[in-house]
Amino acid sequence: MGIEHRWGQNLCDINLGKRIEFNPYEDRRLGNTPNQKAQFAALFLATALEAGNSSQIREAITICNQFFEKQERAGHMCLKRADAMPDGRNPPNEMLIAGAHYGIWALAKATILRYKLKYLAECRAFEERPEIWWDREFSLYALFSTTDGMVVCPSTRWVATNGKSPCYQRDAIHRERVGLPHIGKATKEDWWDLSDPQQAGVAWMRQLIRRGWYAMPKEFNSPLDWPFLPRFADEIRVHREPTFHYAYAPNGIRAMKVVNQAYANYETGEIHYDPIEITWDRDEDVVIRAA
């Protein structure tokens, strides 16, 4: 699991109060991937607020607002989509990111939220989109989680996991939010490492949750009761029963290394990320239409 760019270490350091070298106007040309653009937006905001530079603060807030606005328009966790790209390019979208990419984005988004909350007066021009992004993220977990807090859903950037969760960090944040006990690595305090660029995002989100920033109800009667359902670039359907859930993309997902369906049985612990023969009433599916 890499940090994608030196900006990952920069984000760790500035969150810990360390001095970093970052010039947004010179450094902007150094990173072009979606991961790097998220890191850049977070670093620009953090450094501008720390320096108290009012013109840079306004510019950084505009960049962050635009970033979250694209997520609203093109779909939650959609990083590349024609209507989100100013030049109209249409490479594959990436949604429900698994694995190493999650740590990169968690740190960038946790930084943006932390600095917004830390500098409320200076961030009056900030819209509510950072919070709404996390609302959609947490509702995503709730829609696709098992009773022990493992998030089982269609995904991209798929890697062979032998039936295990493709994103252990995501599971840990979901368990933290809903009050389920942690398992495995997350039971050890040194796993929540604020100095590790791959772990710092989930570690800062744990702190924010424990400090009471996030007050959404732990349970809900129906997934449709959730105020902010996730928005995807492709339609996803999920059917939930007391003992299992089945989630699938009926028209497929336009992305790399895709798994289009996921099944979890809560009684047996059985999990499938490939087609499985089951029967259910599709009229009862929760349908999350493409953004």
Task: For residue range 76-134, list pLDDT tens digits in order.
Answer: 776 655 454 445 455 456 666 666 678 888 999 999 999 999 999 999 999 888 888 88
Q: How far apart are alpha carbons 34 and 32 in whole angstroms?
A: 7
Domain ranges of the chain: 1-225
Mean pLDDT of the chain: 83
- Contacts for 231 with CB less than 8 Å, ≥ 6 apart: 71, 72, 75, 76, 136, 288, 291
Cα radius of gyration (the chain) = 19
Q: How far apart are alpha carbons 197 and 187 in whole angstroms?
A: 19
Query: What is residue 2's predicted lDDT score, i.e. its pLDDT?
Result: 42
Q: How far apart are alpha carbons 158 and 160 in whole angstroms?
A: 7
- pTM value is 0.88
Spans of the chain, pLDDT less than 70: 1-4, 30-31, 78-100, 157-166, 215-225
Query: Tens digit of pLDDT for each residue in 66-87?
Result: 888 888 777 777 665 545 444 5
Query: What is residue 44's predicted lDDT score, i.e. its pLDDT?
Result: 95
Query: What is residue 187's predicted lDDT score, i.e. its pLDDT?
Result: 97
Tokens 């979250």, located at residue: 68
Q: Minimal CA–CA distance to 153: which of 239, 55, 84? A: 239
- Contacts for 228 with CB less than 8 Å, ≥ 6 apart: 132, 135, 136, 139
Q: How far apart are alpha carbons 237 and 286 in whole angstroms?
A: 6
